[in-house]
Amino acid sequence: MTSHHLLTNNIRLHYLEFEGEQPTIIFMHGLTANAHAFDGLVAAGLSPAFHVVSVDLRGRGESSQPEAGYTMADHAKDILGLLDYLQLEKAILAGHSFGGFLALYLARFFPQRVDRLILMDAAANMHPKTKEMLGPALGRLGMRFPSFEAYLEKVKAAPYLSAWDDQMESYYRADVKNNPDGTVSCIPEPAHMMEAVMKGSLGEPWLDYLQSVEHKAILVNAPGVYTMNAALLPEENAMQTVELMKNCIYAKVPGNHQTMLYGEGAREIVSVIKHFLNK
Task: Report the pLDDT value the prediction gives residue 163, as an integer from 0 to 100.
Answer: 85
Q: Is the pLDDT of residue 139 over 90?
A: no
> Looking at residue 19, what is its pLDDT?
96
Label each residue of 221-242 as H, E or C.
Answer: ECCCCCECCECCCCHHHHHHHH
Are 40 and 165 a contacting pair, CB within 8 Å? yes
Q: How far is CA 44 from the centre of its chain?
A: 17
Is residue 204 a contact partner of residue 105, using CB atoms and an 8 Å limit?
A: yes
Better pLDDT: 39 or 194: 39
Instruction: Delineate the domains of the chain, giving CATH numbers in brackets.
Output: 2-128+190-276 (3.40.50.1820)
**pLDDT averaged over every residue in the chain:** 95
Q: Confidence class of residue 279 from pLDDT cuts 50, 70 and 90?
A: low
Instruction: Of 64-73, 107-116, 151-160, 261-270, give the lowest mean pLDDT range.
Output: 151-160
Task: Using DSSP, state whether 67 is helix, strand or coil.
Answer: coil
Helical segments of 119-256, H only: 130-133, 135-138, 148-156, 168-173, 190-196, 206-210, 235-244
Q: Which stretch of 96-105, 192-201, 242-251 has the lowest confidence by average pLDDT?
A: 192-201
pLDDT of residue 202: 84
Is it the case that residue 142 has pLDDT exceeding 80? yes
pLDDT for 119: 98
- Say which DSSP state 121 is in: S
Inform me whether the pLDDT recorded for 160 exceeds 80.
Answer: yes
Which tens digit of pLDDT belongs to each residue from 212-221? 999 999 999 9
For residues 217 and 52, give the distance between their C-alpha atoms in angstroms, rounded to a whole number.
Answer: 18
